Amino acid sequence: MTPYLLIFIITAYIAFIQFKNKRKPSPYFFGLYVFALGLFVGISDMLGGYDRYIYGEVFTGISESVARGEGVLNDTFNMYLLKEPLYGMTNVIIGLLTPNRYAFILIYTLLVYTIYGICFYRYTEKPFFALLVFLGLMFFFTFTYLRQILAVGVIWLALPYYTHRKTWKYLAMVATATQIHNSAVIMAVLYFIPLRKWKFSQIIPVMILLFVMGLYGMGNFMAFAGSLTGVENIKEHADVAEYGFRYEYVVESCLFLYLLYKNYKTVDTDKESLSYLNLYLLFCGILLLFCKSSDGGRIAWYGIMGIIIMLTQFCKSKNAAGLRIFLTIMFFALYFRILYGWGMLLYPYKTFLTNGVREGDRIYPQYEYDEKYADDKLYNLFPEKEEKTDNIPFY
């Protein structure tokens, strides 16, 4: 647990120092820090549980099929990744370099963190505080949900096209993200939200309406949307996503709406500020709309950049010291909640630079598909023809 606590403490310390410095931190220093964070995630030895094994096995199947000359659209690709082909192509491209699952996860994770680092630095004046918010809301999920975290990054890169109303460029980026993870299609809705500073008395009824709609269950709506768009795995996933009432989504949404209400006067009316305001509101609205779905939090990730940008803006004032402290405590609580709740899925921390398996890792005996990795993590670092492996269902 100690390495994770140090990450949060060091990030918070640098963030608070940066508030005292009028200058934006060096892009090289910040970039190196984010790279180190991505390296920490990327070299971890199958931490996060089930998902890494599934992603690893599908990647292995694709890379081995391509090596055997079966082409890009091989059986494994068609079976698991045809509906999200851009994610599938990242598997193919990395697989041409190496069939090793650890190399795949590392390269892929560093790509994601490069995109995130660019967005944090480009959109905020205090990128280390932005990173602190990210740690509290999303960091641990980058160990597991490989498809969606890249799709989120693509959506974040598209924000300037929304701000400047470049319709086709924005929608093209949404379409691109959808080919990585189908859930990104929901961000097409953002473009049709006008850039204006709504009265808060107008915002609350909309949020209440979304909450009421959520109470009636978003699974049926997603099934309907899936049948219209042809994105079948959205529909199929919705069928298993019904979870019951998620009070934590409602609490989180209400808390962020309250923070917005308290600082609403400071929101500027330029295009950029209004676009980030809409993204902030979309995050809150999605949580309320999906309050009966186990995936509501994951769908809301696309809006997290709005939370990050707006809270960072609220905290940059000299009179916002109390808000900075409150938010730091709050995000530490969210960070520690996941860290403690996931337990052995995250610690003891182990990298793939050492062989063997973590003692007490209950996921390993259930989902390990290639026990050679236990003896040598890099045994298949370079491409070579191997016998075809059986795959297990990929979700």
Per-residue pLDDT at 31 = 97
**Statement to judge: residues 331 and 348 lie in one domain:** yes
**Statement to judge: residues 362 and 337 lie in one domain:** yes
H and E: helices and strands count for the chain: 21, 0
Residue 165: inside a domain = no
Residue 371 pLDDT greater than 70, yes or no: yes
**Statement to judge: residues 226 and 337 lie in one domain:** no
Confidence of residue 295 (pLDDT cuts 50, 70, 90): confident
Per-residue pLDDT at 222 = 54
Whole-angstrom Cα distance, residue 131 to residue 139? 9
Residue 310 pLDDT greater than 70, yes or no: yes
Name the domain count of the chain: 2
More confident residue, 229 or 135: 135
Q: How far apart, in Å, are the Cα atoms of 367 and each of 5, 49, 370?
A: 28, 9, 9
**Statement to judge: residues 295 and 378 lie in one domain:** no
**Statement to judge: residues 227 and 274 lie in one domain:** yes
Per-residue pLDDT at 38 = 98
**Statement to judge: residues 243 and 372 lie in one domain:** no
**What's the token pair of residue 19?**
């508030």
The boundaries of the domain holding residue 293 are 184-315
**Statement to judge: residues 225 and 238 lie in one domain:** yes
**What's the token pair of residue 51?**
């998902």
Whole-angstrom Cα distance, residue 314 to residue 301? 20
Task: Pick the last residue of a domain from 300, 315, 330.
Answer: 315
Non-local (6+) Cβ contacts of 5 within 8 A are 339
Per-residue pLDDT at 230 = 40
Mean pLDDT on 256-271: 95
**Statement to judge: residues 213 and 303 lie in one domain:** yes
Non-local (6+) Cβ contacts of 284 within 8 A are 207, 253, 256, 257, 260, 303
More confident residue, 234 or 107: 107
**Statement to judge: residues 189 and 284 lie in one domain:** yes
Mean pLDDT on 82-109: 95
Residue 17: inside a domain = yes
From the CB of residue 69, how many other CB atoms can be counted at a distance below 10 Å? 8
